């Protein structure tokens, strides 16, 4: 009886310490070879030099630059969203946001570069062919700007000219109804041929389209209700557009046509 009791106590003691060891948190410290505040694992993520605390030689540690949103590759003063390490059109900050590789222009190896995939609503890091991200257009009549969003991130911020006060661009929620690469616009006081990149958003002839007859974008209103864009900007947007993409138009049309504090 005495032997049994002591063996039981011994086993219980062993079990107790085993449980303690099991539940005690294990602290794993990230290796930082060059002591720049960026772990070796993160150095590989950002393509910085594991053995050099200041990869771009601008006087700031790589870890400090990344922490405050600056590029550790291009300094001083260049922010991550302003730098594109792999030249795929998607800035380094956006690469991290969309979980793509800043050192590979085609992260998932599907033949499309990361920027194209994001603009079309696909994940650049997943090779499954399914749209992942919500996309929409916003037009701010007050500031005369067009914004294109993907997954709540503003990817495009472009100047436009909306309708004049007496022929306003309608406010409200719309969507891309049809797309026409080239068409003509004819009215009582205008005849405009060869207008490119036309995206209809409301019946009655309301389009977002390229414009070659003025250069007032972001400065003043100019149209009969359409949203005028620089032709190259409209072409960029058109290239990634689909029928059904939502469009929200808001803000006040400038009373005197001219944008104030744009």
- pLDDT tens digit sequence for 61-114: 989 999 999 999 998 899 999 999 999 999 999 999 999 999 999 999 999 999
Whether 193 maps to a domain, the answer reads yes
Whether 188 maps to a domain, the answer reads yes
> Could you tell me whether strands 153-161 and 227-230 are parallel, antiparallel, or unpaired per DSSP bridges?
antiparallel
- CA nearest to 124, candidates 140, 135, 109: 109
What average pLDDT does range 247-251 have in this prediction? Answer: 98
Give me the CATH number covering residue 236. 2.40.440.10
Whether 15 maps to a domain, the answer reads no
Whether 202 maps to a domain, the answer reads yes
Note the pTM of the prediction, 2 decimals: 0.83
> Could you tell me whether strands 135-140 and 246-250 are parallel, antiparallel, or unpaired per DSSP bridges?
parallel
pLDDT at residue 11, as a whole number? 54
Are 104 and 110 a contacting pair, CB within 8 Å?
no
Which strand ranges, in their side-by-side order, compose the sheet holding 145-150?
A: 172-175, 246-250, 135-140, 145-150, 153-161, 227-230, 206-211, 190-202, 178-187
Domain that holds residue 206: 135-250
- CA nearest to 206, candidates 186, 183, 224, 231: 224
Whether 108 maps to a domain, the answer reads no
Whether 122 maps to a domain, the answer reads no
- CA nearest to 62, candidates 47, 102, 81, 101: 47
pLDDT tens-place string over residues 166-179: 999 999 999 999 99
pLDDT at residue 252, as a whole number? 97
Peptide bond into 194 cis (omega under 30): no
Whether 206 maps to a domain, the answer reads yes
> Tokens in use for 209?
């389209």
Q: What's the structural domain count of the chain?
A: 1
How many CA atoms are closer than 13 Å to the CA of 180, on its beta-carbon side? 15
Hey, which residues does 211 pair with through a beta bridge?
230
CA distance 39 to 32: 4
């Amino acid at each position: 009886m005495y032997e049994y009791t002591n063996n039981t106590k011994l086993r219980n003691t062993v079990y107790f310490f085993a449980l303690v060891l099991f539940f005690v948190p294990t602290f794993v410290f990230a290796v930082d070879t060059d002591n720049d505040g960026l772990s070796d694992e993160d150095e590989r993520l950002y393509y910085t030099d594991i053995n050099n605390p200041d990869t771009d030689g601008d006087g700031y540690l790589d870890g400090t630059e990344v922490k405050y949103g600056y590029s550790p590759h291009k300094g001083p003063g260049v922010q991550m969203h302003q730098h594109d390490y792999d030249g795929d059109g998607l800035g380094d900050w956006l690469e991290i946001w969309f979980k793509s590789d800043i050192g590979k222009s085609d992260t998932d190896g599907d033949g499309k570069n990361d920027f194209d995939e994001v603009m079309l609503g696909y994940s650049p890091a997943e090779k499954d062919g399914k749209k992942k991200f919500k996309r929409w257009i916003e037009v701010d009549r007050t500031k005369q700007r067009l914004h294109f969003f993907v997954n709540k991130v503003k990817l495009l911020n472009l100047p436009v000219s909306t309708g004049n006060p007496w022929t306003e661009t309608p406010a409200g929620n719309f969507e891309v109804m049809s797309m026409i690469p080239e068409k003509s616009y004819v009215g009582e006081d205008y005849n405009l041929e060869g207008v490119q990149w036309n995206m209809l958003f409301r019946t009655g002839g309301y389009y977002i389209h390229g414009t070659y007859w003025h250069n007032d974008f972001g400065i003043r209103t100019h149209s009969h209700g359409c949203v005028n864009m620089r032709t190259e900007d409209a072409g960029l947007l058109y290239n990634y557009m689909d029928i059904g993409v939502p469009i929200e138009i808001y803000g006040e049309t400038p009373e005197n046509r001219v944008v104030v504090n744009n």
